[in-house]
Structure 1
């Protein structure tokens, strides 16, 4: 009972924190656990999680976040393009260090979802560092705090945030089922993606 409670406590804390840098902690013998755990958004590594999640190699995942870009200029260009195309603007706020940010970008490359993104969105990747860079971008749309990465903003061509209730739901993007991801982005696609 103690092992199970400790697992869910650590997993819950990780899931609510968003993508964070890995922090290694040793779980004490008093709890009856002697494994070392790594805190991430996906849970705790070790025997329990390996049984629950299919391991995936992240080395080939894209690294689309570029801190040298002028993020606000990219957003402005996407909004201008959206006014012509009728597509919505998809802002993915993340970092190359975050497996969930890179995992979402990898899902965007799968054929069916890639078509939805191309047909329904003007896509912009915004590097937010460790949630300390380019924070003027989410603030522009009324999102004053990033709870984790990636944070996803879907904005209409007239600059209205369309997914206010779910902007923070993508902090565990890498472990979300592909079908759930596909259906979500289909639902918010602009006129080109319907």
Structure 2
């Protein structure tokens, strides 16, 4: 009990001297926290985005990385963060061009732009995201099964994702 009184007296004395803040700072209000970044824009003209990405691949010779997902999905968000990171851009920016297409929530019957997904041979999206790599000639490079395998993207490490792209880049040389 005596130790508690001594500790309380010491804390009070230090707070008077300004050395200790007696009340811990609260988390900043929600209005001060930055909003999560949007990658998959619901109002975008996604057909035009896709067509532009494929035309750009043809013109520049880059491989087009087309990611079908949604900002509501943690796996879509996690993958998008890696694909827009400095690490990805520095290593792969000269070889790959990345485009994000919003597909809503297809597994709940609230999908959109699913006709764009079907262009790459995937008849039904079971989950998000799906990632397709398209050659400058417009040919899909990765399999449909591989495209769908990114539904666990957020559980993959940055090194795993970058490693996948390294292997793909090696195959395309």
Aligned mate of 1:87, from 44, 62, 65: 62
2:135 equivalent to 1:153: no
Q: Which has the larger radius of gyration?
A: 2
Offset of residue 178 of structure 1? 1.5
Name the counterpart of 1:128: 103
Matches of 1:174 and 1:60 in 2, distance apart?
19
Unaligned runs of 5+ in 1: 1-58
Task: Evaluate the alpha carbon distance shift between residue 60 and residue 104 of structure 1 in structure 2; reply closer, same or farther with a 3 A threshold.
Answer: farther
In 1, distance between residues paired with 2:119 and 2:170?
A: 20
User: Equivalents in 1 of 2:162, 2:53: separation in Å?
Assistant: 22
Q: Report the Cα distance in structure 2 between the residues aligned to 1:180 and 1:160, rounded to whole angstroms.
A: 25
What number of residue pairs does the alignment pair up?
Answer: 135
Residue ranges of structure 2 left out of the alignment (5+ in a row): 1-33
Aligned CA RMSD, in angstroms, stands at: 2.3
What is the CA-CA distance between 1:67 and the residue it aligns to? 1.3
Task: Name the one with the larger helix percent.
Answer: 2
Q: Which residue of 2 aligns with 1:76?
A: 51
Q: Are 1:182 and 2:157 counterparts?
A: no
Q: Counterparts of 1:188 and 1:76 in 2: how far apart (Å)?
A: 23
How much has 1:114 moved relative to structure 2?
A: 2.3
**C-alpha distance in 2 between matches for 1:61 and 1:176:** 20
Q: In 2 relative to 1, CA 73–152 (structure 1 residues): closer, same or farther, beyond 3 Å?
A: same
> How far apart are the structure 2 equivalents of 1:186 and 1:62?
26
Q: CA deviation at 1:60?
A: 6.8
Distance 2:164 2:62 in 1: 15
3-state secondary structure, aligned to 1:89: strand
Separation in structure 1 between the aligned mates of residue 63 and residue 170 of structure 2, nearest angstrom? 5
Specify the alignment match of 1:8 in structure 2: none
Matches within 5 A, 1:1-194: 62-131=37-106, 132-164=111-143, 165-189=145-169
User: SS at 2:75's partner residue?
Assistant: helix
Task: Give deviations 1:109-161, integer Å, cap 9, x for gaps.
Answer: 33221224422222110000002110011111111111211110111111111
State how far apart, in whole Å, the 1-side matches of 2:37 and 2:159 are.
20
